[in-house]
Structure 1
Amino acid sequence: MMDFSVVIPIYNGAKRLPGVLEKLRSQTGTEEIQWEILVVDNNSSDETAKVVRELQSTWNLQVPLKYVFERRQGLTFARTRGIEETEGQFVAFLDDDNLPNSDWVLQAYLFGNQYPKAGIYGGQIHALYQTEPPENFKRIEHLVLAIRESGEQAFQFNPELLQLPSGAGLVLRRKALLESSNPECIAAVSRGDNDYELSLYLYQNGWEIWYNPAMHLNHLIPPERLEKSYLLSLAYRYGLYTFGCRVILAKTWGQKFLLFFRVMFGGLKRVILHFAKYKKQVQSDLVNACELNFFWASAISPIYYYINKISFQK
């Protein structure tokens, strides 16, 4: 078995992929680590396959650079395929806009061995903006762009409060997934738009969720990801996940019932307080508008959750 696997799901990212692979090619301190890289081509229509073949022909590392084509489009299928096709004791997910530091693999591997109960963990994610972000944007960059800079001390996240690692650069202990008795935990690994689910199910099964400050990566943010419509939609979508994530840890129907109203009225309270505090700035200021979208979506997330659940069962 490999010690460490890096899985890169990619869709039409031929232009970005070389940058990620060059960062992985330049990893240091990994001489004693058996690791591999797998590019999962998620039904791309660009030259992703050609780019990988060209890189493989000049790949002068002992680290295997593998490629697999996944026709079923969606991060759901790409991540699952990546886990199936790799052998690492730890499986790390990088996107094509994630640029890890030169010791990222080493620090990820050492941390996993140092904390044997860590089922999943993430590190520091720094924004690499290609255009200047709006004023006060730092207030919400963790919310809409999964930027995380939480200091230089390792700590356990608090899943009970939905304090969890972001998806970029997430590292999963394969043993934690394989030993899970909950089928929802297996399914959650592939739900690419909500990485919190997997962390919550692993926590529910007795695993710890950690922050590793020694893992650094830069998240490339192109101008289009700072457009108002895009950011508002992200804030709204993430807000809709609130109840679905919180309910995972509810053990009884009574707890779920109380949680339904706690999340709903808690979200409505935040909407009212936000309006009272910012008034006219709520719609004119991007940061305030994103926060309002998140609070409102959180308030209706219990209804959203059960409507989706009924629709799925049908």
Structure 2
Amino acid sequence: MEYPISVIICSHNPTPAYLHRVLDALKSQTLPMEQWELLLVDNASQESLAEIVDLSWHPHARHIFEAELGLVNARLRGLKEHQGKLCVFVDDDNVLDSDYLQIALEIWHALPAIGAWSGQIVPDFVGGTPEEWTRPMWNLLALDQFEKDVWSNIDMVETMPVGAGMCVRKEVGQQYVHLLETDRRRLLLGRRGKTGQILASNEDTDMALSALDIGLGMGKFTRLKLTHIIPASRLTEAYLLKILKGIVYSMRVMHYLRGVPEVTEVHSWRRKIRLFLYNTLIMTPLERKCMLATREAKALADRQIEALNDNTTVSF
């Protein structure tokens, strides 16, 4: 049976209270349950989600187990199992507004040339408002607020969907599955559990770019809204720098896999002097740490790319 929408939740050892809020928000959707299915993909959790998470409230819900650890593997499994014309990826800490699925379906009908899209993402900082010094780094936490709808059929930062709550047409999902099955190196993108030196990412960007691969566009829409639950543990300097490092590393690897050439900046001697003075006299300690994390991430990515050229991989 084919449904208008498939909601795919990929989860590895979720925080029970957060997942409960995610499911409660899905129970409250204005789109009738008969028009969407729910897939909860358990990505090798220590405790089986099928045993502890009740989905009996939904008439078209399924528990799916994916033993191979990694977000890319979990999403691949969901894309192979779903039966919807539109896939909506919901993380296990994403609380959708009650009209999210209804609006996503309206966009699907109204804009057939758009293959992948997302919406507004606002934070729920567990434990209270974070310290002010963290504010410039909130964009690393999958938050996205904007004032107008935007879309394009070229690769632009302004129209790139965010993975949280991302909507993809069935044919875009099929294209992404094809890319993964023909190039397993893409499994390097996306996180594998909650440990490791690199918090890899950009698998969602790779999926969104699959829309461009088949001649469709991508965009972001103000009416789509969700809340991202953010615990205090994600607002430490160490964690934020780790996210930054993972984003830079993954973007560089993804560009390599997609054949996007790296742009090498050529600075005049005046520009080099200004940069030196800024780096030594003006840059704050946090800015300096971000710069060093970025450099280290690029170096790690270059090692990975060199290994890929030799038909091997490097684990970080």
Which moved further from structure 2: 126-135 or 213-222?
Answer: 126-135
What is the match of residue 134 of structure 2? 137
Stretches of structure 2 that go unaligned for 5 or more consecutive residues are: 191-200
What is the match of residue 198 of structure 2? none
Q: How many residues align?
A: 295
> 1:96–1:50: structure 2 CA closer, same or farther, 3 Å change rule?
same
Query: How far did residue 176 of structure 1 move?
Result: 2.6
In the alignment, residue 27 of structure 1 is paired with which amino acid? Q
Task: Confirm whether residue 36 of structure 1 aligns to residue 33 of structure 2.
Answer: no
Give the TM-score normalised by structure 1.
0.80
Query: How far did residue 180 of structure 1 move?
Result: 7.2
What is the match of residue 201 of structure 1? 210
Task: Write the mapping of 1:108-147 to structure 2, written as runs, cut at 5 A.
Answer: 108-131=104-127, 132-142=129-139, 144-147=140-143
Which moved further from structure 2: 203-212 or 217-226?
Answer: 203-212
Q: Of residues 70, 73, 97 in structure 2, which corresponds to 1:77? A: 73
Partner SS for 2:223: strand
What is the match of residue 306 of structure 1? 305
Stretches of structure 1 that go unaligned for 5 or more consecutive residues are: 251-255
- Is the Cα–Cα contact under 8 Å of residues 117 and 208 in structure 1 kept in the other structure? yes
Query: How far did residue 184 of structure 1 move?
Result: 5.1
Partner SS for 1:107: helix
Q: CA RMSD in A?
A: 3.4
Task: Write the mapping of 1:1-314 to structure 2, written as runs, cut at 5 A.
Answer: 1-13=2-14, 15=16, 16-28=18-30, 30-31=31-32, 34-46=35-47, 48-53=49-54, 55-56=55-56, 59=57, 61=58, 63-131=59-127, 132-142=129-139, 144-156=140-152, 158-160=154-156, 164-178=160-174, 183=179, 191-192=189-190, 193-194=201-202, 195-247=204-256, 250=259, 259-260=261-262, 262-263=263-264, 276-277=277-278, 279=280, 282=283, 284-285=285-286, 288-289=287-288, 291-293=290-292, 295-297=294-296, 300=299, 303-304=302-303, 306-313=305-312
% identical equivalent positions: 24
Partner SS for 2:8: strand
Partner SS for 2:168: strand
Instruction: Provide the rounded CA distance (Å) in 1 between the counterparts of 2:272 and 2:3.
Output: 49
Q: Deviations over 1:148-191 (max 9, x none)?
A: 11223343375155852221111111123336796358765994
- Is the Cα–Cα contact under 8 Å of residues 40 and 70 in structure 1 kept in the other structure? yes
> 1:25–1:190: structure 2 CA closer, same or farther, 3 Å change rule?
farther
In the alignment, residue 109 of structure 1 is paired with which amino acid? L
